[in-house]
Structure 1
């Protein structure tokens, strides 16, 4: 269970954060939320797709790490096997809380990243913030601003009917099969059929590049399959 509390230098003066990457650090996740301004960085490593929120009220973009719930194919060799880590992962175990117009940093004390013994110190001995916490604050602010801007981007995609559901059937080298379903992608044909004036509006809104980045990222699905094959081969050799 998550236990977010308001971060402060009195109750958490000894708090340290384990910054490595491993399944034991609550990173066994199939995907993480992302936002349009992050697409350019992430598309080089991850497929960017879209999903309906758990309550079914809206769509959100996500960076895909695996094909089944709880699978993260980027966790390898005791680390994260990609040069860019989505901010939604990098910010853990910190969160932003909102009190009116004030943004407040919270920390999930139930996260296995939290420790009083090892890891990066959050506060200096006299109570000031460490460089580590300053970087966390910057990450959280960028993530918050990006996620706040996402609904308008999604509204634009939906208004132009640019999302389509897709199913990806996967046949792995060992003969096993799988299926990726429940996600959506940019409908390339509908995008190509848009009038120049509409494309211009998307460009002026800052959305057109993100759309093309999401489309380009789908080429990384093949890389994800190769990661799955490599994982299966490693398990077979151990067995």
Structure 2
């Protein structure tokens, strides 16, 4: 979910970096730049390289090293926050991203990333606050609209969630995740008909998506339409044989 930057990076300490050389080896030119003339820019570039290859532990180390050299770089701290989210350290990610927001309160991507981290920490009210702040910056931010819809669903505020999710779908109708979230909100709000209609439409347009068929099966099962649910679970299993939840649900 690395929003856009990945332009600056860092690592923890030089000894720790040295211990991880075998697992954190970047391109020769980036390694040479970081070792011959250490700078925040060099480590940022190295961290971006690792992040782009989903080597998040290496990226985090690089971002941290860059921050040792230039602690005031909001770009580096933002990228560090994203890497921490991907690594699963949401608590520390939220701390770093809060510092970015304090420094750059109008930075949309930082607000969205912080909202994501807080949502994953289960801090729904704080996540809602950040995502609404993101929408004040850009009312058409689909990340904020979708994230806010998901947060409101956890609070069982389904009508409000549906409103935000509809906006996300209207702006980006081709996004599968947005439309499945909207279907889930309809279903959880006790309105299965539009949920089933939407998921059937998605199943027709995305016949290779186990994700869609699993969600369709789940709504059918909740409505006690067991034959339809079984058919959809079987299709999900055919597309994704390792889906144990679908197998157990049959």
Mark the structure with the bigger radius of gyration: 2
Greater fraction of residues in strand: 1
Q: Name whichever structure is richer in helix by fraction.
A: 2
Normalising by structure 1, we get a TM-score of 0.22
Using structure 2 for the length normalisation, give the TM-score. 0.21
Higher relative contact order (CA 8 A, sep 6+): 1
